[in-house]
Structure formats: structure tokens, C-alpha cells
Amino acid sequence: MTTSRPIRPTRTEDTAAIRALLHRSAAAWAEGDGTAYGACFTADATDLTYTGTLYRGGAEIGRAHQALFDSFLKGTRLDLDELDLRFYGRDTAVVVTRGDVRKRSAKPGRPGKLATYTLVRENDGRWRIAAVQKTRHRRLLEALSFRAQPATRPTPR
């Protein structure tokens, strides 16, 4: 009797699945659907917003974002551009994005925020967001730092 091993996805398939997950989270945001947004996260995820608020767990992230979608973030979309995607083992990846929250009708503009996503493949084989941390990009302060101390400038990629 032979046993067959489960076929593991390729990195190309994992990359596509991760990009699809981030696209789903942005689509849920644009629809103002906190439940769908929260479903993109693990049950024990953390979401550290650029204002410093820390949400824990997909359910709380979804609930809190629904309140935001119904008020301050009503009619907005989340624009994300992937800057870097790296795998750490079979079931963990880190994605760095540049993006912003805009009114749905607004034209794309210069993104003002960066976010680091830690993603994990859960037991069901699906990728989910385990952590996200958002930071406002302070271009002027960054430029002053680079001018005052050139060694702080990152290596161009």
C-alpha cells in the first residue's frame, strides 16, 4: 500500500494567495464590510493602527472596523501597493506595503502610509493576517534626518 503525501503549494501559488488575501481585505474595506474584513485575520491577530490603537483578534478587528466604516471611514477605500514580500519558512510571510485610505471616488494620489503585514498559513491551508502595523510616512522629517545624518538613508533597491 502506498501513501501519497499532500501536495504543497509552490511559492508562486502562495504569493498569489497572499496577494488575493490583501485584495480581499481591501475589497471588504471598500464595501464597508467589517465582518469580511475581520475574516481576513487570524483569531488572535493584532492590528496596530497608525493612530496607535491596538485591536486583537479577527472578530474585534472586524467589529471595530464596522463602527469605523459606519462613521469616520464611511465611503472610503484602502489602496495598497506591495513593496516587498518575503517568506520565512513554509507558513509565514511578511509583506510591506505603501498605501492610504481615500474616499472611494478620489483619484489615486501619493500614498502617505506604510504597513507591515505578518501572514500565516493556518491549519485549513488558507493564508490570513496575523499582524499588521501601520505607520504614517513623514517625508519632511525623513528628508531632514537624511540631510543631518546621511548614513541613516536606506540602501536603494
What the chain holds in terms of domains, given with CATH numbers, is: 11-152 (3.10.450.50)
What is the structure's pLDDT at 50? 83
Mean pLDDT on 2-28 = 86
Mean pLDDT on 116-137 = 95
Residue 65, all three cell numbers: 472596523
CA atoms within 13 A on the CB side of 23: 6
Element (H, E) at 17: helix 11-31
What is the structure's pLDDT at 137? 74
What is the pLDDT of the chain when averaged over all its residues? 91
CA distances from 12 to 16, 94, 98 (A): 6, 15, 22
Q: Is the pLDDT reported for residue 69 higher than 70?
A: yes
Tell me the pTM.
0.85
Residue 70 phi, psi (nearest 5): -85, -5
Mean pLDDT on 40-61 = 95
Q: Is the pLDDT reported for residue 86 higher than 70?
A: yes
78 or 50, higher pLDDT: 78
pLDDT confidence of 3, banded at 50, 70, 90? low
Q: Which of 48-52, 129-133, 140-144 has the lowest mean pLDDT?
A: 140-144
Nearest to 55 by CA among 37, 71, 73: 37
Q: Are 112 and 136 in contact (CB under 8 A)?
A: yes
